[in-house]
Structure 1
Amino acid sequence: MSSDRSIDNEVKHPIRVGILGFGGLGQAAACVLAPKREALWVAGADRQGYAYNPTGLNPDECIATYNQQGSLGYLKPDGFLGDRSIEEAIENATTVEGYFLALPNLPNTFMASVARQFIEMGWQGVLVDALKRTSAVEQLLELQDELQAAGITYMTGCGATPGLLTAAAAIAAQSYEEIHSVKITFGVGIANWEAYRATIREDIAHMPGYDVEKARQMSDAQVEALLDKTNGILQLEDMEHADDIMLELAGIVSRDRVSVGGIVDTRNPKKPLSTNVRLTGRTFEGKISTHTFTLGDETSMAANVCGPAFGYLKAGIALNRRGIHGLFSAVEVMPQFLH
């Protein structure tokens, strides 16, 4: 590719970005955006309030305010407190072109309900999520006609898995005549589970004897008691992960041939195992072979979720500006690198 084409592919004006949710993932997203020249973080919201500055928010100030006082709404002078923070952010942060929905999908209908809020409020632009569960993506599929009519370009399943690893599987599939299996195995290491409370609860919901509602209702003390029993380790197998529906809808492989599982260490930042996707298939010559794509152990969960999410947001902006709206998954569109 010529350098001229690469330059043409860059965003001419910084994309005004909002982040909904400001726990561990939302805070990491703000830090990922900070050095980008093609994007400007202008709005953030949590349960109790939101902050908005059309010239840009300072991640360090926002993180300090949130961690000390519990909400971006306390940020001076750009914070606003209120119990309708998402609606108020959508209504008042008028320059935002794309939102990263760094929200906990607890209950399992939450992300679809947020998408419906954007539709009902007449907002137009790009939405990106890092949804995990197949059933949550199925709920968004029911909204695809409404999203298209509303002028919203919605990119779903755009984190690590689903997301980066699912897209890698889609590319790996091109070598084969028939796909026999896709196996995604992840290792996550975090020093302190409290930095990613919602993410850990979503993982617990995949464990035997638990579901989304039970995990959502667990107190922090109950989560800590469970982690004490497991020495901080969550071992997850045959998870309900949207990689399956994304690959099936793309016509690559039936969902029953896709499996996702892994190990989360909530007390150690070092990954307990390397994250990878293995795709096995039959080539046109009749050979059975496996492609493996492995993520570097040094890359964190936050890097592997937020980086792809913003790459897909940039791709979504390009589609939206061409008048292409509706619902797309990480398998259907290539992310664009956000400089």
Structure 2
Amino acid sequence: MNQSAIKVGVLGFGGLGQAAARILSAKQEMFLVAAADKEGYVYHVEGLDCDRTIKAYHQQGSVGYLEPYGTLSQNSIAELIEKANVEGYFLALPNLPNTFMAEVAKQFIQSGWRGVLVDALKRTSAVEQLLEIKEDLAKAGITYLTGCGATPGLLTAAAAIASQSYTEIHHVKITFGVGIANWEAYRATIREDIAHLPSFDVETASKMSDAEVEAFLDKTNGILTLENMEHADDIILELAGICARDRVTVGGVVDTRNPKKPISTNVQITGRTFEGKISTHTFTLGDETSMAANVCGPAFGYLKAGIALHRRGIHGLFTSAEIMPQFVR
């Protein structure tokens, strides 16, 4: 083990949390020592065995069952914050209910913990809740980077860079395609997507049982088509001074029964150059990259960047359009 490697934790151990563990297992600069789900947590200062941790979760329903380092708890996040010595956490948590991410941030503030937090939240209103506590985060010595997944995140950052060619931004259009073989591997993510559909909202989607989600997906042949989503790319680009939020649109297609992407994921940035020309930049992600790769990879890049800021004494709330992620080797 690299003695100078950064010790990190992952909160949430569903599809994204497990993918995060797999990504970290191949890294030299950063290693996973802590993880929590709603039934328990696991902490080992020498690093967690990725395969054993995932196996414990799959076979018994919680990382808390992992011997000898796991602990079963109904207060897993608070207990792990108290116990674990880590520099940063990736919050791979569901955005349901919509207040959850801000509530977790408040737990960190109240605990007296100092370090770096990175999330991959989706909704504009979730970022607005974090903005309300940004001064509290700074005072607590926490460096928090929000919207650091794929969208918002990778694609938002690409839009911020691409906007430099223009003197005025007319439209940022994000279109994503997601393919997963089995929706149950990403239950929270799929529920969040359903919440964006007409006639659904966060409350109704979060209350749906697995059987109800399954029945709904049967009606749509496993396809979710999403348009004009409430996505935090809009507020993040507005906060960065790039364009008003009403010039940002996000939508996509999710296939919950096929790992192949139904459409390519891209961001289009249309604007006017200083010569008066109207043009569009398009940044397209490779179809072979999975949702997990495009969410967790940037999240750890932003976590590394956040740790560099924190070590320099820079605290508070930042977004994926303000800070350049650093590649984790």
**Normalised-by-shorter TM-score class:** over 0.9
Question: Where does structure 2 lack aligned partners over 5 or more consecutive residues?
Answer: none
Query: How many residues are paired up?
Result: 328
CA distance in structure 2 between the partners assigned to 1:320 and 1:182 by the alignment: 31
Give SS of 1:80's match: strand
| Alignment partners' CA distance in 2, 1:297 and 1:89 | 37
User: Which residue is 2:75 aligned to?
Assistant: 84
CA distance in 2, matches of 1:13, 1:302: 27
Question: 1:59-138 to 2 correspondence within 5 Å?
Answer: 59-93=50-84, 95-138=85-128
Equivalent in 306, 315, 320 of residue 316 of structure 1: 306
Q: Does 1:45 align with 2:69?
A: no
Q: Which of 266, 277, 288 is residue 298 of structure 1 equivalent to?
A: 288
| 1:31 aligns to 2:22 (yes or no) | yes
| C-alpha distance after superposition, 1:39-66 (max 9, x if no partner) | 0100000001000000000010000000
Distance apart, 1:105 and its partner CA: 1.3
Aligned pairs for 1:173-252 within 5 A: 173-252=163-242
1:171 is displaced (CA, Å) by 0.3
Provide, for residues 267-305 of structure 1, a one-character-per-residue CA deviation record: whole Å limited to 9, x for no partner. Answer: 000000000000000000000000000000000000000
State the SS of the aligned residue for 1:224: helix
State which of 9, 19, 22 in structure 2 corresponds to 1:18. Answer: 9
Q: Deviations over 1:293-339 (max 9, x none)?
A: 00000000000000000000000000000000000000000000000
Query: Cα distance, 1:12 vs. partner?
Result: 8.0
Q: CA deviation at 1:35?
A: 1.2
Aligned to 1:287: 277
Tell me how far apart the structure 1 counterparts of residues 294 and 125 of structure 2 sit (CA, whole Å). Answer: 23
**Alpha-carbon RMSD:** 0.8
Which residue matches 1:5? none
Distance of 1:114 and 1:14 partners within structure 2: 26
TM-score, normalised by the number of residues in structure 1: 0.96
Q: Structure 2 length normalisation: TM-score? A: 0.99
Q: CA deviation at 1:124?
A: 0.3
Counterpart in the other structure of 1:56: 47
Match runs of 1:166-177 below 5 Å: 166-177=156-167
User: CA–CA distance in 2 between the matches of 1:267 and 1:321?
Assistant: 44
Q: 1:250 and 1:76 mapped to 2: Cα distance? A: 46
Distance 2:303 2:38 in 1: 23
Large movers: runs of 4+ above 4 Å: none
CA distance in 2, matches of 1:216, 1:59: 29
Which of residues 264, 267, 279 in structure 2 aligns to 1:274? 264
String of CA shifts for 1:209-235, please: whole Å, max 9, x gaps.
000010000000000010000000000
Provide the residue aligned with 1:253 in structure 2: 243
CA distance in 2, matches of 1:249, 1:40: 32
In structure 1, stretches of 5+ residues that fail to align are 1-10
Supply the distance in 2 between the matched residues of 1:43 and 1:156 (Cα, whole angstroms).
Answer: 20
Deviation at 1:172, TM superposition (A): 0.3
